[in-house]
């Protein structure tokens, strides 16, 4: 029998309608399998649906089957929906839907746990066509998700498959327990690694316990796993960005299925996929990324967004596309430029583009709202796929699609919109929410649907009424609906999945559960849940005890050796029963020492205390090798205890080793950064904050020196979690202490303020760099942002100072700066009336020794000042440097500093902070005549506007620093020789 035959009308009735009306479930199944149309309406006026026939005759099994097969619950007969008909027949339609959903979720979970992914996918696709939508993160009958179950099963492939299908690896079950929490607590290494690879959230806290504290207590080295995962993740991001740039969207999509957050992640060159696509003027790639949900406002280097880059490069089609998808034009970069300022500078009519986008968006929103209101979901789905922003956008009447569906009483439309991410609290005119509208129209079914999806009845409209106030005014009983729809918390601790048909035993949070049917039988009880898990697990073990007529005494919290199963968990605490006070865990140390070494209350505390006591998982410590030499800053000698070697008056060796598994732990009162700082300095005030930390102005306390004048210092604070990063930065900071040049910022000292608490791997250590205080700001702040021109002689003087400093760094210290720009050239003193300017090169946060292999030529610094060869190497567009020896890399590292210096002084003589010189080099394909001609126009314009002049030799000298070929670029010594001629 063909599909046409099974839908043939006989007396205005189809075979499927007759089977449903008669309650013939097997007949209904057979007809649907043969292709019968479940939505075919019958009757002379084609009024009745198959579902309504089953409801009319109260055939519950048929109703359930039809709902599972995606029967339309919105089909109206004489103005009544299936919900209304079911209510008249005394059928609880909502309970039936809930049962159907739970059965489908249970089947899905069962198939996933058995690795039957193809069958599971069919169930998942089927669910998307039903009233209850995507079930991938829904709870089954055991109140657990599929992700939670496979995490307990230690099935890494199942975890990755679920994420590829759109599952959230951090979706919690009852009381907030996440898949990662159960994987770590049960030492499921494969599941833990898979969850972290898929982007599971490690910042969640459950019962005041972080995932890092839990891992320490159960003996799982989560930090080591994170390091491994991070390496894989970084490689994956690089591959994703490269695939997008090459328009290999199939492979990029596969990567995106593994990790959704990769779409906005920065590759090793510090740019994300969208930024690179815009830089390449790759419109298809930008389109694809937007369809996949990229954050169009994610800023990259120097706070520059993709839209700002598109404006600078005058790419109107991409600008229009980004604005259409809610690009924020007011985001400012580090230099204070937003898109409007950039547009004005490069002569792009951003307002006209915005107006065109506005008109286009109004048409799209209108079509979307109409499609949803007419239940044309295929059209709406297509529009939403192309324009994700449309879901909450207002049409010409200033109404959203969700608001319109509420006014229509269109529950199916409401559910569809909410499943696709509509904001249930999005307000329209006069701050009215969808719930306000449903209450005003007295629609109980709509109100219940909104309340069950989390609508907030306490939000007030523009007149000051919340939903309760509106209900009282309209004579509508909202209170009973709120009570009926209120979600009751499920009283279980992290329950374990049960593969058998037996229901898993929930663990009560308030009292013991007695499951015995008689007082003569033993009862299965649980220990009371404590505020924090004991030091081995996240759940108390289940024990069997006899019952008696006397009241139970409060049981002790015990740990027992039991076999691991979905219902009971072994504590692995030894053969003897141990009573543990959870609050005392932080003081339990090896060797019966209650107070850990280097406690903040002990006498041996130093700022540089790195030795850590053993903490559960073996011996690991942070070792620093030091060699005594003459102190660089004598004032620092008396500031610290003399019974241990202080790194403040010792030369720091480059032999530094560390372990990242534990940090120093402290008992008693933990001191804050402010308290530790106040022990060394007075008059502390914040003077700046940037990407690498915060800088304070303060007066150094000089102990044992009466009437000594105050020494004003600038102290930079940088926080670290990883001791590897801390070691690396300390090594660089120690090198800076040895720099002695009149045009290089003096670094007096470097040390670490370490704070922590027992068992915590997330406490940060703060490195402090004590520097010379520079009172007059920097070149960018003092001149460029204020549009102040320096004279020809002062520009030469500044070039001479900086090149002299670079020669010192290159020749004597074998260092490259890697982040030269106007912001990092600071002014020690200034007197423009007498043509005097004392400047220093500072902020060596990115400085590297030339001997650090190829790292000196790796990406660092600021995009606008990056040399073309470094840019191309990091973009993967040039292979010419891959086999070069270290001497060539060293030469290019110096040349890159010179390029940045050239761009800096070009900006000072043109006041042009927008143009990317490297970008122009790429645009002109390396044609330096066109490049320098374009730059000369900018310089000439500035000279004309501000009545200044610069001689041709000076301009040519600056251009010599910006040559495309690093081998032809002037060196610092060559610049000095030219100026001295």
Contact 329, 297 (CB under 8 A): no
Largest Cα separation within the chain, whole Å, is 111
Q: CA 426: distance to chain centroid? A: 24
Q: CA 839: distance to chain centroid? A: 39
Residue 403 CA to residue 436 CA, distance in Å, equals 10
Residue 848 CA to residue 815 CA, distance in Å, equals 6
Estimate the crossing angle of helix 189-197 against helix 222-245, to 10 degrees: 40
Reduced to 3 states, what is the DSSP secondary structure of residue 308? helix
Q: What is the 3-state secondary structure (H, E, C) of 689-725?
A: EECCEEEEEEEECCCCCCCCCCEEEEEEEEEECCHHH
Contact 414, 402 (CB under 8 A): yes
Q: What is the DSSP letter of 810?
A: I
Residue 175 CA to residue 171 CA, distance in Å, equals 12
Residue 885, strand partner residues: none
Residue 211 CA to residue 222 CA, distance in Å, equals 9
Q: What is the DSSP letter of 584?
A: G
The answer for residues whose C-beta is within 8 angstroms of residue 803's C-beta and 6 or more apart is 901, 972, 973, 975, 976, 979
Residue 889 CA to residue 857 CA, distance in Å, equals 6
CA dihedral 259, 264, 267, 270 (to 10 degrees): -160
CA angle 197-202-205, nearest 5°?
Answer: 155
Q: How far is CA 893 from CA 741, 854, 978, in A?
A: 21, 9, 22
Other beta carbons less than 10 A from residue 928's beta carbon? 15
Residue 261 CA to residue 844 CA, distance in Å, equals 32
DSSP string over 277-305: HHHTT-HHHHHHHHHTT--TT---GGG--
Q: Is 687 exposed, middle or buried (0-12, 13-18, 19+ CB in 10 A)?
A: middle
- For the chain, what is the radius of gyration of the CA atoms? 35
Looking up tokens 């209900």 gives: 471
Residue 973 CA to residue 970 CA, distance in Å, equals 8
Other beta carbons less than 10 A from residue 802's beta carbon? 25
Q: Is 4 exposed, middle or buried (0-12, 13-18, 19+ CB in 10 A)?
A: exposed
Helix and strand numbers, DSSP H then E, in the chain: 38, 15
The answer for residues whose C-beta is within 8 angstroms of residue 232's C-beta and 6 or more apart is 197
Estimate the crossing angle of helix 25-33 against helix 15-22, to 10 degrees: 160
Tokens of 367: 């079509």
Flag whether 129 is marked binding.
Answer: no
Q: Which residues are annotated as a binding site for ATP?
A: 716
Q: Which residues are annotated as a binding site?
A: 716
């Amino acid at each position: 029998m063909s599909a046409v035959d099974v839908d043939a009308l006989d007396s205005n009735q189809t075979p499927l309608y007759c089977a449903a009306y008669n309650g013939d479930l097997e007949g209904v199944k057979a007809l649907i399998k043969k292709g019968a149309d479940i939505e075919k309406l019958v009757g002379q006026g084609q009024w009745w649906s198959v579902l309504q026939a089953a409801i009319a005759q109260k055939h519950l099994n048929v109703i359930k089957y039809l709902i599972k097969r995606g029967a339309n619950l919105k089909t109206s007969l004489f103005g009544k929906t299936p919900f209304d008909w079911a209510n008249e027949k005394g059928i609880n339609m909502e309970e039936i839907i809930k049962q159907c959903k739970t059965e489908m979720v249970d089947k899905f979970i069962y198939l996933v746990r058995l690795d039957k992914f193809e069958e599971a996918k069919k169930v998942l696709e089927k669910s998307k066509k039903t009233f209850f939508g995507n079930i991938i993160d829904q709870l089954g009958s055991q109140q657990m998700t599929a992700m939670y179950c496979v995490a307990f099963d230690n099935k890494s492939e199942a975890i990755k498959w679920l994420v590829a299908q759109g599952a959230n690896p951090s979706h919690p079950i009852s009381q907030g327990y996440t898949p990662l929490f159960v994987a770590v607590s049960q030492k499921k290494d494969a599941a833990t690694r898979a969850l972290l690879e898929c982007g599971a959230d490690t910042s969640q806290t459950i019962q005041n316990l972080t995932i890092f504290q839990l891992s320490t207590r159960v003996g799982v080295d989560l930090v080591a796993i994170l390091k491994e995962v991070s390496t894989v993740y970084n490689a994956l991001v690089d591959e994703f960005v490269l695939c997008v740039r090459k328009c290999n969207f199939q492979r990029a999509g596969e990567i995106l299925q593994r990790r959704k957050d990769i779409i906005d992640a920065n590759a090793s060159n510090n740019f994300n996929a969208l930024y690179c696509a815009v830089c390449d003027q790759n419109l298809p790639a930008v389109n694809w990324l937007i369809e996949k949900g990229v954050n169009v406002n994610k800023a990259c280097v120097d706070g520059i967004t993709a839209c700002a880059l598109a404006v600078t490069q005058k790419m109107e089609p991409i600008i229009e596309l980004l604005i259409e998808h809610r690009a924020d034009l007011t985001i400012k970069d580090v230099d204070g430029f937003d898109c409007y300022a950039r547009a004005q500078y490069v002569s792009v009519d951003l307002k006209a583009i915005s107006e065109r986008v506005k008109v286009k968006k109004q048409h799209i929103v209108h079509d979307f709202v109409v499609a949803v209101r007419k239940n044309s979901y295929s059209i709406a789905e297509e529009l939403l796929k192309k324009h994700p922003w449309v879901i909450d956008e207002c049409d010409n009447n200033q109404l959203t699609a969700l608001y319109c569906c509420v006014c229509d009483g269109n529950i199916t439309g409401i559910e569809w919109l909410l499943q696709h991410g509509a904001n249930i609290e999005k307000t329209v005119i006069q701050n009215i929410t969808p719930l306000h509208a449903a209450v005003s129209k007295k629609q109980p079914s709509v109100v219940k649907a909104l309340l069950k999806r989390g609508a907030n009845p306490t939000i007030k409209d523009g007149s000051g009424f919340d939903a309760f106030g509106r209900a009282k005014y309209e004579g509508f009983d909202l209170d009973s609906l709120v009570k009926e729809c209120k979600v009751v918390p499920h009283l279980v601790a992290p329950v374990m999945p049960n593969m058998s048909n037996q229901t898993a035993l929930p663990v009560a949070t308030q009292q013991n559960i007695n499951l015995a049917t008689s007082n003569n039988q033993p009862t299965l009880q649980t220990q009371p849940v404590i505020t924090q898990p004991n030091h081995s697990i996240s759940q108390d073990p289940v024990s069997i005890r006899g019952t008696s007529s006397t009241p139970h005494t409060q049981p002790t919290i015990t740990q027992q050796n039991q076999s691991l199963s979905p219902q009971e968990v072994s504590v692995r605490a030894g053969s003897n029963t141990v009573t543990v006070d959870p609050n005392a865990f932080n003081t339990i140390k090896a060797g019966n020492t209650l107070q850990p070494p280097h406690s903040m209350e002990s006498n041996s505390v130093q700022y540089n205390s790195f030795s850590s006591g053993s903490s559960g998982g073996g011996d690991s410590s942070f070792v620093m090798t030091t060699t005594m030499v003459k102190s660089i800053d004598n004032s620092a000698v008396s500031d610290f205890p003399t019974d241990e070697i202080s790194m403040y008056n010792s030369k720091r060796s480059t032999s530094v080793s560390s372990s990242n598994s534990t940090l120093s732990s402290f008992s008693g009162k933990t001191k804050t950064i402010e308290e530790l700082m106040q022990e060394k300095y007075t008059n502390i005030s914040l003077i700046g904050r940037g990407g690498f930390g915060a800088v304070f102005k303060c007066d150094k306390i000089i102990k044992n020196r009466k009437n000594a004048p105050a020494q004003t210092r600038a102290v930079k604070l940088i926080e670290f979690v990883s001791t590897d990063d801390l070691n690396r930065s300390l090594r660089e900071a120690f090198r800076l202490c040895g720099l002695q040049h009149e045009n290089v910022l003096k670094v007096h000292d470097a040390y670490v303020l370490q704070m922590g608490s027992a068992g915590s791997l997330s406490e940060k250590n703060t490195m402090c760099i004590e520097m010379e205080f520079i009172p007059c700001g920097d070149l960018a702040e003092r001149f460029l942002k204020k549009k102040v021109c320096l004279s020809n002689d002062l520009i030469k003087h500044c070039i001479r100072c900086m090149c002299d400093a670079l020669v010192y760094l290159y020749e004597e210290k074998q260092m490259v700066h890697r982040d030269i720009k106007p912001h990092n050239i600071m002014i020690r003193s200034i007197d423009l009336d007498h043509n005097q300017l004392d400047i220093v090169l500072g902020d060596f946060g990115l400085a590297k020794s030339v001997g650090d292999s190829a790292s000196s030529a790796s990406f660092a610094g600021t995009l606008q000042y990056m040399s073309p060869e470094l840019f191309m190497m990091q973009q993967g567009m040039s292979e010419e440097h891959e086999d070069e020896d270290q001497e060539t890399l060293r030469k290019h590292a110096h040349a890159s500093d010179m390029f940045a210096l050239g761009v800096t002084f070009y900006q000072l003589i043109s006041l042009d902070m927008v143009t990317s010189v490297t970008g122009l080099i790429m645009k002109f394909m390396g044609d330096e005549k066109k490049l320098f001609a374009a730059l000369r126009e900018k310089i000439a314009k500035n000279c004309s506007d501000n009545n200044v002049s610069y001689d041709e030799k000076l301009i040519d000298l600056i251009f010599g620093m910006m040559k495309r070929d690093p081998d032809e670029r002037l060196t610092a010594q060559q610049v000095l020789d030219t100026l001295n001629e």
